Structure 1
């Protein structure tokens, strides 16, 4: 005879599992926040740079700065392993300020035409500190504002927070460019995009990865590229991994690309060795 647990017992077990998962996330978040605070005070953060290429000429004309956390045994840890939890804490504001300063410092070592793109977090955008930190980073490095591009997401654009709106307008008033990150994921309306003059729209990796799956996928990506051009933006494809993806992106008029098909993200010193002014 097979015994079936009572529904109350099952519900109790599921509740315990949810509570255990919640406690684990809290502990993990505290651990990551502590690691980041230690890294901020002990030179444990670094930026790696993903080169951005013109798809028509093949020339590298910029790079996206990507955060790395130094680890004694594992080397540099990618941001995807710790940022999602870190973004739930104010430590992300301190990290964002460090990234601005480091990105501008690196840009100062590169040719005047070379631009640096940098993703910012919603918490940093809403903090009221972004504009001051941005201005200080530009002044201290001597980098022209137009060489820096801050990347935001569609979700951040739809946020009605007054501090966010002010920061975005102040950023553009300084001459810094804005790029829309992860374009084509989840929001159908282009109306919010018309309120803000973006320099670039960056196709989400999912669009690029699905590009070779058939005519429908290609048509969707083509529509995204055409929408970007209609808004007066340069369109960049993120996560280009194969020659087939590259060929199709060229065919549908994509302006720029980045990804492992061209080159992986590289440390700042290596970027400077390739393109620096000496």
Structure 2
């Protein structure tokens, strides 16, 4: 093939890939729009536990949950919505999803114990959108709860790429009493240097780190987690680790000073009714 012909083939291939991507975007947007219109989404909550200890004189206690949004599928049951929102080129649809999610989460949190919080993961690039603050505060006002009950979660990769618009949005939300958690932290550790410059309230360590922890305290993963926890605590930032599955993982995490944990060891994703019943049961038995 001559060079001009090769270049033409490359352009055709790229054009074909763009058409496929655009077609996939349209299908995802239509699916989400229909689900919003018909109220098909199902909300689940991943319980989050704050670790106690002899040093603080406290016991382990459930302190809220992370919101998980699913969409019913006949073959696969509930499928996560987050991947459908990833890189979606529809700002208006992302905004509609945000309003729906915040309304649903804020209404549920109003029924929880007063010291529980809900963490709401945000679709990619949503936080830099100027409508986020207004949508969030309006949802909280409609539910009649204070801003201090809700945390927004953004991905580490978005923080690194978001620029000044994202940093300004974080500062604005924090000024209004809304928590902002950086999730997926540790997948790259590219944002470690940014922590002192951002008014975050929490870090959520990447779930792979829970399984990578070795009994040896000198292991690379252990050193990185300990450094992240120390820096976060100096800045007044709470640290959560996701994906905890075993008692052995829990024991190693306790030694590192992590504040909160979630994952199968704490509890699976559950309905709003189930997590309220769990909170009531713990209260009835005098357990935090």
Q: TM-score range by the shorter chain?
A: 0.7 to 0.9
Q: Do the aligned partners of 2:44 and 2:67 also contact (CA within 8 Å) in 1?
A: yes
Question: Paired residue for 1:128, among 120, 130, 134?
Answer: 130
With normalisation by structure 1, the TM-score equals 0.85
Residue 51 (structure 2) pairs with residue 55 (structure 1) = yes
Provide the rounded CA distance (Å) in 1 between the counterparts of 2:109 and 2:194: 30
Q: Which residue of 2 aligns with 1:42?
A: 38
1:93 shift after superposition: 2.0
Residue segments in structure 1 that go unaligned for 5+ positions in a row: 1-5
Q: Which residue of 2 aligns with 1:160?
A: 163
Matched residue SS, 1:160: helix
Alpha-carbon displacement from aligned partner over 1:127-151 (angstroms, at most 9, x marks no partner): 2111111111111101121111111
Alignment of 1:1-278 (within 5 A): 20-56=16-52, 57-85=59-87, 87-90=88-91, 91-158=93-160, 159-162=162-165, 164-188=166-190, 190-212=192-214, 215-275=219-279
Alpha-carbon displacement from aligned partner over 1:171-228 (angstroms, at most 9, x marks no partner): 1122111212112232445442222222221111122221138523222222222222
Q: Do the aligned partners of 1:45 and 1:69 also contact (CA within 8 Å) in 2?
A: yes
Provide the rounded CA distance (Å) in 2 between the counterparts of 1:142 and 1:97: 15
* Cα distance change, pair 225–165 in 1 and its aligned pair in 2 (3 A): closer
With normalisation by structure 2, the TM-score equals 0.83
Residue segments in structure 2 that go unaligned for 5+ positions in a row: 53-58, 284-288
Alpha-carbon displacement from aligned partner over 1:86-122 (angstroms, at most 9, x marks no partner): x333222211121111110110111111110111234
1:156 shift after superposition: 3.5
Q: Do the aligned partners of 1:205 and 1:237 also contact (CA within 8 Å) in 2?
A: yes
1:20 shift after superposition: 5.0
1:40 shift after superposition: 0.7
1:12 shift after superposition: 8.4
More deviation, 193-202/212-221: 212-221
Q: Do the aligned partners of 2:192 and 2:228 also contact (CA within 8 Å) in 1?
A: no
Q: Do the aligned partners of 1:212 and 1:244 also contact (CA within 8 Å) in 2?
A: no
Q: Do the aligned partners of 1:178 and 1:200 also contact (CA within 8 Å) in 2?
A: yes
More deviation, 249-258/199-208: 199-208
How many equivalent residue pairs? 270
Provide the rounded CA distance (Å) in 2 between the counterparts of 1:199 and 1:67: 23
Provide the rounded CA distance (Å) in 1 between the counterparts of 2:268 and 2:239: 20
* Cα distance change, pair 118–161 in 1 and its aligned pair in 2 (3 A): same
Provide the rounded CA distance (Å) in 2 between the counterparts of 1:259 and 1:116: 15
CA RMSD of aligned residues (A): 2.7
